[in-house]
Amino acid sequence: MPGFQRVFIVLLALSALPGCYRMKLQLVDASVQKPSNVAVYFSMDDRNGNPAPGVTADRFQIYEDGKLISTYESQQTILNQEVAIERYTLLLLDMSGSVVDSGQVPQVQEAVGAFLENIGDNEKIAIYAFDGREEIIPIAKFGVREEALARRNELLSSYEPKDPSTNLNGAIVKGVEVLKDGMDDSDVPLRFGTMAIFTDGTDRAHRATSEDAMNALEDNNIRSFVIGLGGEVDTEEMQRFGRDGFVHAQDKGSIVDSFKKVADQINSQALRYYLFSYCSPSRAGTHELTVMVEVASSDKTDKGRLKYTFDAEGFEPGCDPTDTPKFEIPDESEQTAEDNRKKAEEAKADPKKDAKANRKKEKEKTEQKKEKKTGASTAIKLEEKESPAPETAPQESAAPPVQGY
């Protein structure tokens, strides 16, 4: 009997460990609208950080203020993301002298066709080329995907570089501008950009620095993938540019497969996102929504959750959960959510480093506040006792990804 009791206690303790929350859910944006519609757009990864696609609405449970809402009451559903979200992908091709003069254009052309065939149907695609010139050259602009696919065998056949050099850094900067312009023309509230870059070398034109290129990608939350060809590519720099994926094609015979791999990676990234909608039973007041998910496989069951606080003032009957959510233009995109997820994982691995970074930020904020206060006091000649500025309460919707509870 004592032995049995010890085993029972150990099993009970293990079942209560926080590690059971291994699915990682990260909120991207939320929509709350009358009559009583609540929708959350989020990413979901498995315990290994890989996308967790194909989870159905019945695998989720909804809690408001800690109380379970029945599926009959909530009418919970997963919406087609395209009702409120558009994704733009720019394929940026190195067509400098080293590519064209070496006879690699037929392989690149075939690879572009494979990319167009493999990329998700809902991706809006544009294709641009670059050589040593300052500007990038449009091969197919956004909105002509079907035409580009039909002409895939002739898109690049007549291309001739006007400058044989390689303006890789400058082309990335210009490519970001093209992506931004394309997304700005959209009427949907949530728009996300991806750049897939093909090159066989490094920047030779020096029209822009590698930092200019990195800043353009990071500052505009552009997801980026790189296909590097041959032995001349700077692998370390290509991995920096390919923040979300880098494929090294050793020779021109592997170009097509490399383009397919990047298309698959872009598709995989898109599959980690869910647009989840339900009808809230609340009719007034502020409430904490908790979305729980449980995914079972042959050898394990993983769970995850996210939280969001919403205001139900004015809610009433008549909700249809399939109504299109009304998102505002987001302050952070999918890439920002992904960056937050990675930073949270780094912080978990090295909490001292994260604490040090936070202290540095707080010190900078304090210094800025002191400078402001000193300037204001000098201008209006007021004598007042300086008091510390109140801390800003964290927003639930901007919480870091769940790491396990």
Distance of alpha carbon 225 from alpha carbon 266, whole angstroms = 8
pLDDT score, position 27: 96
Instruction: Look at residue 285 and tell me whether its pLDDT is greater than 80.
Output: yes
Does 222 lie in the same domain as 157?
yes
Contact 88, 188 (CB under 8 A): no
Confidence of residue 331 (pLDDT cuts 50, 70, 90): very low
Does 90 lie in the same domain as 78?
no
Is 344 among the domain residues? yes
Angle at 159 between CA 154 and CA 164, to 5 degrees: 150
Find, among 58, 56, 25, 30, the residue nearest to 43 by Cα: 25
Highest-scoring range by mean pLDDT, 8-22, 148-162, 223-237: 223-237
Contact 264, 236 (CB under 8 A): no
Structure-block tokens of residue 297: 């496989």
What's the pLDDT tens digit per position in 93-114?
999 999 999 889 999 999 999 9
**87 backbone dihedrals φ, ψ, rounded to 5°:** -115, 135
pLDDT score, position 387: 41
Sign of CA dihedral 250, 255, 256, 260: positive
Write the CA distances from 354 to 24, 277, 399, integer angstroms. Answer: 19, 34, 15
Half-sphere exposure (CA, 13 Å, Cβ side) for 78?
A: 17
Structure-block tokens of residue 17: 């460990």
User: Domain residues for 314?
Assistant: 19-83+276-349
CA 173 centroid distance within chain: 19
Contact 200, 233 (CB under 8 A): yes
pLDDT score, position 297: 74
Question: Mean pLDDT, to the nearest integer, of 300-308?
Answer: 93
**79 backbone dihedrals φ, ψ, rounded to 5°:** -90, 155
Is 106 among the domain residues? yes
- Between residues 18 and 244, the one the model is more confident about: 244
Longest dimension (CA), the chain: 86
Question: Pick from 270, 292, 324: which residue ends a domain?
Answer: 270
Instruction: Look at residue 330 and tell me whether its pLDDT is greater than 80.
Output: no
Question: Mean pLDDT, to the nearest integer, of 181-206?
Answer: 93
Strands (E) located in 36-108: 37-45, 60-64, 67-69, 77-78, 85-94
pLDDT score, position 393: 36
Confidence of residue 294 (pLDDT cuts 50, 70, 90): very high
Q: What percent of the chain has pLDDT over 90?
A: 60
Residue 306 is classified by DSSP as E
Is 261 among the domain residues? yes
Does 73 lie in the same domain as 135?
no
H or E segment and range at residue 29: strand 24-33
Distance of alpha carbon 311 from alpha carbon 190, whole angstroms = 22
Confidence of residue 22 (pLDDT cuts 50, 70, 90): confident
Distance of alpha carbon 27 from alpha carbon 40, whole angstroms = 7
Does 343 lie in the same domain as 266?
no
Question: Pick from 253, 270, 287: which residue ends a domain?
Answer: 270
Specify the amino acid at residue 22: R
Does 138 lie in the same domain as 253?
yes
Sign of CA dihedral 127, 106, 197, 146: positive
Does 255 lie in the same domain as 114?
yes
Find, among 270, 272, 273, 276, the residue nearest to 78 by Cα: 276
Distance of alpha carbon 186 from alpha carbon 339, whole angstroms = 24
Question: Pick from 306, 332, 349: which residue ends a domain?
Answer: 349
Does 256 lie in the same domain as 161?
yes
For the ranges 42-46, 284-288, 361-365, the lowest mean pLDDT is seen at: 361-365
Is 167 among the domain residues? yes
Q: Tokens 């959350």 correspond to what residue?
A: 40
Residue 330 is classified by DSSP as P
Does 132 lie in the same domain as 122?
yes
73 contact partners, CB below 8 Å, separation of at least 6: 279, 281
pLDDT score, position 12: 33
- Between helix 351-380 and helix 334-349 the angle, nearest 10°, is 120
Does 288 lie in the same domain as 251?
no
Half-sphere exposure (CA, 13 Å, Cβ side) for 106?
A: 3
Does 263 lie in the same domain as 239?
yes
**CATH number, residue 147:** 3.40.50.410
| Total number of domains in the chain | 2
What's the pLDDT tens digit per position in 361-400?
555 555 554 444 444 443 333 333 444 444 433 333 333 3
Within a 10 A sphere around the Cβ of 274, how many other Cβ atoms? 22
What's the pLDDT tens digit per position in 215-249?
999 999 999 999 999 888 889 999 999 999 999 99
Does 301 lie in the same domain as 196?
no
Does 189 lie in the same domain as 336?
no
pLDDT score, position 344: 57
Sign of CA dihedral 224, 225, 231, 237: positive
- Between helix 210-219 and helix 168-184 the angle, nearest 10°, is 20
Contact 155, 109 (CB under 8 A): yes
Question: Mean pLDDT, to the nearest integer, of 307-328?
Answer: 95
Q: What share of the chain is helix, strand, coil (3-state, %, to 5)?
A: 40, 25, 35
